[in-house]
Structure 1
Amino acid sequence: MKIKTSIKILKDTFSRWLDLDPFAQSAIIAYYTLFSLPSLLLIVIWVTSIFFGREAVQGHITQEFSSLVGYEPAKAIEGMISSASINSNSAVNMIISGGTLIFGATGVFFQLQKTLNTIFEVKEDNSTFKKMVIDRLISFGMVMAIGFLLIISLIVSAGISVFNNYVKNYYPEIASLIVSGLNFLVSLVVITILFGAIYRFLPHKRIRWKTALIGASITTLLFLLGKTVIGVYFGQAAPASVYGGASSVVLILLWVYYTGLIFFMGAEFTMVYSEYRINKKKPETSIDDVQA
């Protein structure tokens, strides 16, 4: 790809991103995430605890959130998970609780789908009950995909832990460096696959897997860079300190908000890059073609 073309793609991406009003869209996603998070995590833990113990899964999730948003918000999320449960007193209550849980967990993906449809220029038809059910099922599929990726992450983390013990015996001076590099690589792959799956399956417009993964790779790099910047910002500025007891919730909202800005930037890049590939494949019309 030529430098001129790359610059044009980046300019178009930024222009479309601004036209989307990403600040408002990210605020909406942050709001939905706050209410979807307990249900989403409960389902993910329920699925993954089939293969691993609940405490191990919950501890892994808390550790991941702690590295993202800090210890206090991570403990608040852990509290959400612990207090959330399905009412199993009767079959009816269990069905109602399960349905409410699924509806809550898919809320953020359902809203995310609407925004991605706008980005990918999907013409919205009149909503029908059947369409709504299908969209919710797709959203639930994304929840299950998160559970699957978490299982993979846990398996790989266990493998890295064993590898770390082996390396420490022979190369103790570089063991931590190697493990840090492997953990970063695992995060890179898992997040890229997740973003790629969202770009590929969530909008009503299908794009090629290759295009989705390229867009997801850019988004992941921005996400990991943004995570570092946001972490420094939270540590230095302490933006939620003025909210007292609600600071943990505010930090979660702020983190999702800033992450949403990055995610939508990546989605716009994916759309612009997809259009570039389509236009590149179109044969140019020659004078002979016009005359014919």
Structure 2
Amino acid sequence: MDSNEMPTLKQRLLPHYQVANRLSRGSLDVVRVAIKNFGLARGAEAAASLAYYALFSLFPLLLVLISVVGYVLKSDDAYTVTVDFITQILPNSRVLIELNIQEILNRRGAIGVIGLVGAVWAASGFFATLVRNINRAWLGIKPRDIIGTRLLGLAMIGMLVLLLILSLASSALVNIIKLIDSPIFNGFQPENSPAWPILQLMLPSIFTFLMFMAAYRWIPNTSVRWRASLAGALWTSIAWEIAKRLFALYLSSGLANYEILYGSLGTVLALMFWIYVSCVIILLGAHLTASMDQRYQRRMAESGSSPA
């Protein structure tokens, strides 16, 4: 047989892929299209630029969160709660954040209304860029204008504030239960319950999932089905939680010697690398959502049913 007539590896694997795709009800095609479009949209490059923007938006965002929480808690408590919240999102960043944010607060003192507005605007730069890149996952749709993009960026800051408030509310609920004078709750200590560690582990993940679902549902400049945004948010939440734990394990293992290579910049670069990984996951989740949404559209067009 002529060597030119020998089947390529792709041709050999194609029948197996088609069988697996049928068994998975088209899920492999969804993943394949998502990865292909992620590459076409230069998702990895977009994630790198987002990591750069995030570095400039991080500390203004912290100032905003501390100021908002400061209306509910004392200033010291607001600082502690906010840093705890951010370090859940950015593992192994506590030392860097505490050193810099404390110095900023000492120099600035109390933040006035104008200062708060400026901090919100500076923090929204990262989120506006994220909005643009999530929107690009839906190929062929009209991009949002500058004002709409910036407003959505500000809305994402609002979502983070809401996430922080929900986190505070869940902690406050435990203290309220302890104070209720009722036979049902008499002597009940939630933290001693076997379900408490599971609840503590799940609540942040649930809040994160809801934030991703809202982002994939409303950020694109098109109508996205709830099923697609829910599935995309579920994948993103799981992948992000796994990556967060693997990254923390990697840093604590001693294999990541950023300080040896980069000196005092090592912590900053480690933080930027984690933000890059997070943005890759978020953007890939957007492409998965778009791919699933397109599949639902095709199925409805073939069946002649109305959108769900």
- The answer to whether the superposition gives a TM-score over 0.5 is yes
Identity of aligned residues (%): 22
Alpha carbons 1:30, 1:257 under 8 Å: kept: yes
* More moved, 74-83 vs 143-152: 74-83
TM-score normalised by L of structure 1: 0.80
Instruction: Work out the CA distance in 2 between the residues paired with 1:202 and 1:31.
Output: 21
Q: Which residue number in structure 2 is paired with residue 262 of structure 1? A: 281
In 2 relative to 1, CA 220–161 (structure 1 residues): closer, same or farther, beyond 3 Å?
farther
User: What one-letter code is carried by the residue in structure 1 that aligns with 2:129?
Assistant: Q
Instruction: Work out the CA distance in 2 between the residues paired with 1:84 and 1:224.
Output: 30
* 1:238-289 C-alpha deviation (Å, 9 max, x unpaired): 242232212221121011011111111111111111111111111358xxxx
User: CA offset at residue 162 of structure 1?
Assistant: 7.3
1:193 counterpart = 2:210: yes
1:74 counterpart = 2:94: yes
In 2 relative to 1, CA 161–67 (structure 1 residues): closer, same or farther, beyond 3 Å?
farther
In 2 relative to 1, CA 171–82 (structure 1 residues): closer, same or farther, beyond 3 Å?
closer
1:149 counterpart = 2:163: yes
In 2 relative to 1, CA 70–269 (structure 1 residues): closer, same or farther, beyond 3 Å?
closer
In 2 relative to 1, CA 197–68 (structure 1 residues): closer, same or farther, beyond 3 Å?
closer
Q: For 1:122-271, what aligned pairs fall within 5 Å after superposition?
A: 122-124=140-142, 131-160=145-174, 175=192, 178-236=195-253, 237-242=255-260, 243-271=262-290
Q: For 1:16-55, what aligned pairs fall within 5 Å after superposition?
A: 16-55=37-76
3-state DSSP class of the match of 2:279?
helix
User: CA offset at residue 104 of structure 1?
Assistant: 0.9
TM-score normalised by L of structure 2: 0.76
1:280 counterpart = 2:299: yes
Q: Which residue number in structure 1 is paired with residue 124 of structure 2? A: 106
Instruction: Work out the CA distance in 2 between the residues paired with 1:226 and 1:201.
Output: 25
Higher helix share: 1
1:63 counterpart = 2:122: no
Q: Gaps (5+ residues) in structure 1?
A: 286-292
* 1:170-227 C-alpha deviation (Å, 9 max, x unpaired): 899x948633211121012100111122222323233134432221111101111111
Larger Rg: 2
Residue correspondences, number:
274
